[in-house]
Amino acid sequence: MLDKIWGALVGIGVIGKAVFTRPTPKTMAQRLAMLPTDNLPVTAPVNIYWNKYQVPFVEAESKKDLAVALGLLHGHLRLAQIEIMRRLAYGRMAEMIGPMGFEIDRSLRLLDIGKAVPEIIANMDSATREWAESFVKGLNHLIKHTPELPHEFAILGIQPELWTLTDLITLARVNSSDISWLVWLKLLKARRKLPRQTWETLWPRLVNADGPTGYAAEGLFGGEHVLAGRTRSGSNSSAIAGSRMSSGYAAIVSDPHLPMGVPSPCFVVGAKAPGYHLVGAMMPGMPFFVLGRNEHIAWGGTSLHAQGSDLFDVSEFPESRISEEYQLVRARWSRSRRLRIRRTDIGPIVSDGPLMKVDRPTAMRWQGHRPSDEIAAMQAVATATCWEEFHQALKPFAVSGLNMVFAGGKGQRVGHCLAAHLPRRPNDTPEDVILPASAADSWDSIADTTAMPVRVDPEQGFVASANERPEGSDFPIGYFFSPKDRSQRLAEIFSSKEKLSLDDLRASQTDVAMPGVLPLRDLLLQRAALSTTQGDAQQHVLTLLTGWDGGYQAGRVEPMAFEMLLAEVVRRLGLHRPGSHYHTVWMTHSLLKEDLQAADPTHLAGVIHRALKVVAKKIARYRKWGNVHRLRIEHMFHHLPFVGQRYRFADLPAGGGANTVHKTGHPLVYGPHTITFGSCARHISDLSDPDANYFVLQGGQDGWIDSENFVDQLSLWQSGDYMRIPLRIDTIKETFLYRSVLKPSE
């Protein structure tokens, strides 16, 4: 209670800071002038070319100098974002938000995210270590010489700290958080609160339902919200073979799905040094490209939804198998506190914190607690020239599991592989979310990417990945996967023409058709037909739905009518509570369809009849899907009372839905709501032309609030347009009209 009272006082102080401290608007010229360019730890001058969106292309004479420049750019473009993420990685949220952050920090520290970091660093090969250390030097140069700090530092009461290699790898580990954690956070609450029999009936349906969701984590500054922002929860990535492209060369088309908001969770960069030449997207603070293309290949990725973690019941462990330590946690404007952390030989006892609270001591084993080398893997991907090199490069990649999509190899080939290290669990469905301790024996045998399914040069001429369950594995990759709506829709699009153009690929990224909902629509219509007393308003809704093709365009009324009718029927049947659990595993439509099929047809008809009256009134009020389905471009400070509106930069009608290719996630729809999860960036590359690379971010490149480039790509993103980012250095010099030169120390 004292923490809550004092936390409220700290919150008032934060609001007061925000009232009297406003962001300083900056033009692009002013922002570029803030970049420290003198006395850098480089051996020769480094050229950085900029386009009007503040996208840099770095030209360096060595890989080491390139890494320094990239570290400098990460600090320049996203210093506040990186500093906040570092505190998250170490469980230091209370330093920013006061005593109410103690329990968040406890839960984060119980995850033991940095456990493997010392061994990872000790095992690094010399080239990877030099690259990572040079990146850190560039980031630290920015911190030491930046003339002005971003607005977030004043509001949160923090100062930037110099980085170490340990910090960098720890941040990489938190960015590799397991997708299963987000699902567990919700399901453990359900398990705790539901009657045992209800849970035992619900669990088998959920664990076999195929799909975790970004909505598994919602809330202000909560541990769930914190982890959701770091977890690779979704994405689409497809590769089309040269035989299917009008250019005669393979192409890549990718769009990562992450929580919406600004600054964006990634930004666009080009880079050239001896043996290293590519354009792509990086995540703030991560010294590698998560997607992109070089002179030979292009690549993208989606979350594999692999289960790289398990929970184990350790309630019967003797004290000799449990160790404990106390860690000091500092809090803003408050006293420090010592938190107890307990560990077992299986893993940390995560049930000691509120995030994964259960009724018995429960330990977590995570593949990320073991050493692996994702930086080396992605560096090898960035320089690969063919499928074989690409696939082999991913062997050290362990967490979090990814579907990796490939295009290239003399411009023609396509492929898809799984990048992860996973235990060879038995194929039986787990009986509960918490396993007996004896089940940890399956972790004695770990499979890497070379032991998992591969698709190369399929007959249809393309591969498409959208987080669906992978086929062909002889052990469980995971238990929660996305429905096949997006992958099936992508297959429809790519099969619709003998030859595909760049315009076709662009259209695919803004596609909002969801034919997979039509069977559920048909079921509602069939049951509604059993009632013969429909009024004119009710009949109008039924007529709309009868003619609907499953399109979720913002200007249409039909998707709103369907989603609102479904929600109202669910509420009246008392299914909204299990519906929230279906929502956690991303299978709302399919599991609700099972429930509605099981309902008494006559009773369901009466429920639909009454629900139609409510929906008819809502349709008359809201008129179209985009009036209830809203895209708000907001900074995390928009949660602050009284001043939060200052940090909202757009409130727009949106098309798409929970399982459209252009993903704009939402729960059951009772009225206006905000999209929380979806396509935050897009990338297309046609390998017929080194300069045919197109990117766009949902917000902007620059993380400086109110700068010229903070949300300037939003109009491109809305219209389905892109920035062209050439690979040829001569084209860069012609089209990127601004230049910075990093000078070495004298």
More confident residue, 438 or 3: 438
**pTM, whole model, 2 decimals?**
0.94
Give residue 632's pLDDT: 94
- Judged against a pLDDT cut of 90, whether residue 53 lies above it is answered with yes
Report the alpha-carbon distance of residue 182 to residue 585 in Å, rounded: 10
- Judged against a pLDDT cut of 70, whether residue 350 lies above it is answered with yes
- Model confidence band, residue 218 (pLDDT cutoffs 50, 70, 90): very low
User: By percentage, how much of the chain surpasses pLDDT 90?
Assistant: 79
How does pLDDT run across 540-598, given as a tens digit for each residue? 999 999 999 999 999 999 999 999 999 999 999 998 777 777 777 777 888 899 999 99
- Judged against a pLDDT cut of 70, whether residue 210 lies above it is answered with no
Report the alpha-carbon distance of residue 105 to residue 89 in Å, rounded: 9
Report the alpha-carbon distance of residue 512 to residue 696 in Å, rounded: 18
Report the alpha-carbon distance of residue 739 to residue 58 in Å, rounded: 10
**Is there a domain that residue 216 lies in?**
no
Amino acid at 229: G
Give residue 532's pLDDT: 74
Look at 226-240, 274-288, 435-449 and tell me which has the smallest mean pLDDT.
226-240
- Count of all residues that appear for the chain in the document: 746
Q: 591 lies in which domain range?
A: 515-549+557-623
Smallest CA-to-CA distance from 176 within 350, 413, 12, 367 is with: 367
Number of structural domains in the chain: 1
**Is there a domain that residue 359 lies in?**
no
**Is there a domain that residue 384 lies in?**
no
Average pLDDT of the chain to the nearest whole number:
92
More confident residue, 127 or 225: 127
> Mapped to the 3 state alphabet, what secondary structure does 577-645 carry?
HHHHHHHHCCCHHHHHHHHHHHCCHHHHHHHHHHHHHHHHHHHHHHCCHHHHEEEEEECHHHHCCCCHH
Give the H or E element holding residue 464: strand 462-465
In Å, how far from its chain's centre is CA 305? Answer: 11
- Say how many CA atoms lie within 13 Å of 154 toward its Cβ: 15
- φ/ψ of 221, rounded to 5, equals 55, 15
How does pLDDT run across 222-238, given as a tens digit for each residue? 555 555 554 555 799 99
More confident residue, 186 or 213: 186
Binding residues for Ca(2+): 310
- Judged against a pLDDT cut of 60, whether residue 488 lies above it is answered with yes
User: By percentage, how much of the chain surpasses pLDDT 70?
Assistant: 94
Amino acid at 650: A
The catalytic residue positions are 235
Mean pLDDT, rounded, for 423-437: 94
Binding residues: 310
DSSP structure string for 4-58: HHHHHHHHHHHHHHHHH-----B-HHHHHHTS--SSBS-SS-EEEEE-TT--EEE
- φ/ψ of 410, rounded to 5, equals 60, 25
**Is there a domain that residue 197 lies in?**
no
**Is there a domain that residue 740 lies in?**
no
Mean pLDDT, rounded, for 437-443: 96
Look up residue 449 and give its two tokens.
């990417």
Give residue 589's pLDDT: 86
**Is there a domain that residue 583 lies in?**
yes
Amino acid at 100: M
In Å, how far from its chain's centre is CA 687? Answer: 26
Q: Helices 518-528 and 601-622 sit at what angle, rounded to 10 degrees? A: 110
**Is there a domain that residue 298 lies in?**
no
Query: Where does residue 149 rank: exposed (0-12), middle (13-18), buried (19+ CB within 10 A)?
Result: middle
Smallest CA-to-CA distance from 451 within 306, 346, 327 is with: 306
- φ/ψ of 636, rounded to 5, equals -60, -20
Look up residue 695 and give its two tokens.
């990117």
**Is there a domain that residue 567 lies in?**
yes
- Judged against a pLDDT cut of 70, whether residue 3 lies above it is answered with no
